[in-house]
A and B are shown apart, each in its own frame.
Chain A
Amino acid sequence: MKQRRFIISGLAIFVVMYALTSMVDPFATNVTNRLASPSLHHLLGTDHLGRDVLSRLLLAGGITVGLSTVIILITATVGIILGTISGFVYRKLERIVTKVTDATIIFPDTVLAIVLAGVLGPSIQSLVLAISLIKWTSYTRLVHTLVLQESTKGHVLAARVNGLSKPKIALRHVLPAVCPHILVVMSLDLGKVILLISAFSFIGLGVQLPLPEWGGMISEGRHYLATNPALVFWPAFCIVLTIIGSTRLSTKLTRHFQV
């Protein structure tokens, strides 16, 4: 019952947001109406180019959360595959996989993101590539450890005695037990990656103009902090709210799966 209400309210918010964004163009500039205070047409006012703040906030949210989700899905998939293979299916690869993860995990993702932005040009693609190139290691390590623990349990041994092939055991008996843990970490990482994306957009190397991004909006709005603090407040509010949301989600999942 509670879950259904949760889904319905989520959908309702989504519909309202979609209606709001399609009403006002987030890219339309209007220099005569710049830095306007909230009105019926612009519910949160306009920015320094006269663009509607609310519709830009909502579009930015879609972009940031979407990118973060894509990154998490890619890296978690890589981590699950590599971790399961090295931890259970083909143990001969264990040494090399752990050594490579141990070496890669120490490298700062921001540094790689900067250099990739320099080589490929500052863009969303180079940022996604850079974060993914480092992030897969933490999932591989996590899945590896979990799979190792799980594979010593009785039901896995029983499956092996019954002559099931290792890939089949991995899919049917090991991964289902491991998945809740991975989901918890994924929901927590969602917020961390959003932090990273907005930080990079803030310094101008992430999502590029004219596309809106919360960090980029703060970077544009900070010059008007004294006269128009709302331009910084709303994107900041959105970032913090989203990250707290992702933390709450992970606590909820932890409790739900009892991991």
Chain B
Amino acid sequence: MTRFVARKSLEWGLAFLVFTFFSFLLLRLVPGDPVLYLLKVDELQVDVAEIDRLREELGFTDPVWVQYVNWLSEIVRLNLGDSLITGQPVTQLFKNNYAATFELAAGGLLVAIVLAVPLGTISAFRPMSVFSKLATGLSIVGSSVPSFLIGLFLMYVFAVSLQWFPVMGRNGWDSLVLPSLTLGIAVGGVYIRLIRSTLLDVMAADYVVIAKVRGIRSKKLLTRYIARAALPPVISMFGVSVASLMGGVVVLEVLFAYPGVGKLMVDSVLRRDFPVLQGYLVFTTCLVVSINLVTNVMLRLLQPHLYRKDVSR
């Protein structure tokens, strides 16, 4: 087990290095000389000797990999540079915005789970019931209606017409309701279909049929026999969907004018605030890589039989 964790950490660590190297290179792609750019920001008189001196000072004459290592060691110390527009440290900006985004993502995930687990389970066991039809409808909406349309609809009905919730912004829990609901419906549709098809697969397995024949009560059958076997695909889906969640929140944050990281990024794109964008890329890489590492380890714990070498499969 420890060897497995060590190997996976090494693999994902390598992936992290490669990803950050690309995000480091990406800023080199920006048209124009960064040194000239910096001088222009400070509105200094530019002469050639000055440019060369600054280039030397900032380490632009070093080989690329030396620059990368220096840059990486700054990042490990949580120094992502300063915003070109406000001059604030990027980490400072991120602190507030990521808190807001995590609240929204957690809310959306909660809604998705609350919707999908019961609906997916019921529609697997009782395919003809009303709940099953509701589940089908919801999964069609989730997969074919863009999230911003769901959000626009909810906003129009519950915020503009009924005025139950604020239209936009972030103050108090009630401003979180509509965005979370939108995100939850958009993501939940995928979960419903996955849970249903996984449960149907497991229910058809021999050992479940045998357990039924042995007269095991249906409640125990579900919790002990079916749920455990259905868990691995759901968990690996979860790992993937966290990544798409981080993307999905961006659109909703713009729609609801919610001051999260996605909104900050869209603003930074329009203001061409490169250090903030680079920090975002690095931070997302960290997040995605660590979530996948955790997912890998959890799957290993849940399916030990797939990793045993002494038994022939």
Contacts and interface: CB of A to CB of B under 8 A. Distances in A.
Interface string B227-245: 0000000000001100110
B127 to A, nearest CB: 19
Contacts of B274: 118-119
A interface, how many residues as a size bin? 35 or more
A244 interface: yes
What is the interface of chain A mostly: helix, strand, loop, or mixed?
Answer: helix
Interface in A224-259: 225-226, 232, 236, 239-240, 243-244, 247
Contact of A240 (B23, B145, B152, B248): B145
Interface string B264-308: 011011101110011011001100110010000000000000000
A114 B148 contact: no
B194 interface: no
Nearest to A229: B156
Contacts of B204: none
B266 A203 contact: yes
Contact of B148 (A110, A115, A119, A202): A202
Contact of A106 (B147, B152, B288): B288
B156 A225 contact: yes
B148 A118 contact: no
B149 A218 contact: yes
Interface in A104-123: 106-112, 114-115, 117-120, 122
A118 B273 CA distance: 8
Max chain B CB contacts within 10 Å: which of A114, A120, A195?
Answer: A114
A215 interface: yes
Contact of B277 (A99, A107, A114, A122): A114
Contacts of B284: 107-108, 111
Given A99-B11, A106-B288, A226-B160, A118 B277 contact: yes
Contacts of B269: 114, 117-118, 122, 205
**From A111, A122, A205, A239, residue with most partner B Cβ within 10 Å:** A111
Contacts of A247: 143-144
24 contacts: A106-B240, A106-B288, A107-B243, A108-B284, A110-B246, A112-B281, A114-B266, A117-B269, A118-B272, A119-B30, A119-B277, A120-B29, A198-B146, A199-B148, A204-B254, A205-B266, A225-B160, A226-B160, A232-B152, A236-B149, A239-B146, A239-B149, A243-B143, A243-B145
